[in-house]
């Protein structure tokens, strides 16, 4: 449901991508709340995805501010890549163009990709814990970004292990499924099989964020 909502919203003309990005902090928090519910032995209902907007007006306002800042940061990262290659990488990233080997090998495409990563990586660290800090601790949006960045830098080694572990799992799943389908002569349906698995992997990743938050900040 999380991935479906973001995907559907992003398809709206003109405002789709900015609106989807603005909803990302709140949607991510919803999955973290769901993970907390499950870890405490309760079954998470779909309404948890709206947790960011069900804790009173101050929390809702703070989460909307957080979403607006995330949207601006994402658009800045995408705009930087656009300036480098004229929008080639941006169209591929947004799903508006199909990447080809020739396109990916272009120097300007690769520089655009690194320009995006160079801005998006610190943006991710700023927002890694921010939604949870706003929701559970009532930290103001700007302060939550600061505390999130400091926490990520102080636990950078653990986050690197976390990221590499997820990368290894992703590579193993893709290679394993692709190899199995090739052995069975079913390479034609590889995309149909991998897409739902990627959605499942994405959901698993976002729910795992709760534990990185829980183990970083003292729950007491």
Instruction: Tell me what pLDDT residue 68 has.
Output: 95
Domain membership of residue 193 (yes or no) is no
The pLDDT value given to residue 195: 80
Residue 216 included in any domain: no
The pair of three-digit structure tokens given for residue 154, joined into one six-digit string: 């102080």
Q: Does any domain span residue 170?
A: no
Q: Note whether 77 and 119 are within 8 A (CB).
A: yes
Residue 171 in domain: no
Q: What is the pLDDT of residue 95?
A: 66
Cα–Cα distance, 62 to 60 (Å, whole number): 5
> How deeply is 91 buried, as exposed, middle or buried, from its count of CB atoms within 10 A (0-12, 13-18, 19+)?
middle
pLDDT value of residue 34: 92
- What whole-number distance in Å separates Cα of residue 173 and Cα of residue 194? 9
Q: In which domain, by residue range, is 117 found? A: 2-155
* 192 lies in some domain: no
Domain count, the chain: 1
Other Cβ atoms closer than 10 A to 122: 13
14 located within any domain? yes
Class of residue 188 by CB neighbours under 10 A (exposed 0-12, middle 13-18, buried 19+) = exposed
CA trace torsion 90, 67, 50, 143 (10° rounding):
140
Q: How many CB atoms lie within 10 A of CB 12?
A: 12
Residue 62, pLDDT score: 93
- Grouped pLDDT means (10 residues each) for the chain, 220 residues: 79 83 90 91 89 87 94 92 87 72 82 91 94 93 96 94 92 86 78 80 88 83
Residue 112 CB neighbour total at 10 angstroms: 25
Q: Cβ contacts of residue 123 below 8 Å, gap of 6+?
A: 70, 73, 74, 77
Tell me the whole-structure pTM to 2 decimals: 0.84
Burial of 179: CB neighbours in 10 Å, binned 0-12, 13-18, 19+ = exposed
Angle between helices 57-85 and 141-154 (to 10 degrees): 60
């Amino acid at each position: 449901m999380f991935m479906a909502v973001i995907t559907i919203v992003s398809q709206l003309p003109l405002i789709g991508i900015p609106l989807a990005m603005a909803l990302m902090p709140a949607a991510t928090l919803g999955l973290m709340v769901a993970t907390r519910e499950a870890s405490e032995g309760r079954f998470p209902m779909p309404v948890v995805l709206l947790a960011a907007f069900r804790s009173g007006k101050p929390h809702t306002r703070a989460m909307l501010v957080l979403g607006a800042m995330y949207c601006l940061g994402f658009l800045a990262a995408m705009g930087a890549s656009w300036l480098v290659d004229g929008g080639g990488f941006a169209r591929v990233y947004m799903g508006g163009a199909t990447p080809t080997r020739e396109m990916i090998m272009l120097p300007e495409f690769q520089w655009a990709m690194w320009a995006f990563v160079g801005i998006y990586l610190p943006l991710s660290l700023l927002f890694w814990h921010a939604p949870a800090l706003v929701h559970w601790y009532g930290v103001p949006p700007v302060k939550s970004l600061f505390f999130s960045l400091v926490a990520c830098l102080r636990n950078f080694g653990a986050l690197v292990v976390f990221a590499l572990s997820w990368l290894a799992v992703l590579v193993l799943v893709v290679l394993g499924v692709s190899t199995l389908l090739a052995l069975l002569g079913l390479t034609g349906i590889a995309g149909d099989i991998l897409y739902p698995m990627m959605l499942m992997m994405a959901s698993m990743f976002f729910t795992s964020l709760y534990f990185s938050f829980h183990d970083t900040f003292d729950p007491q």
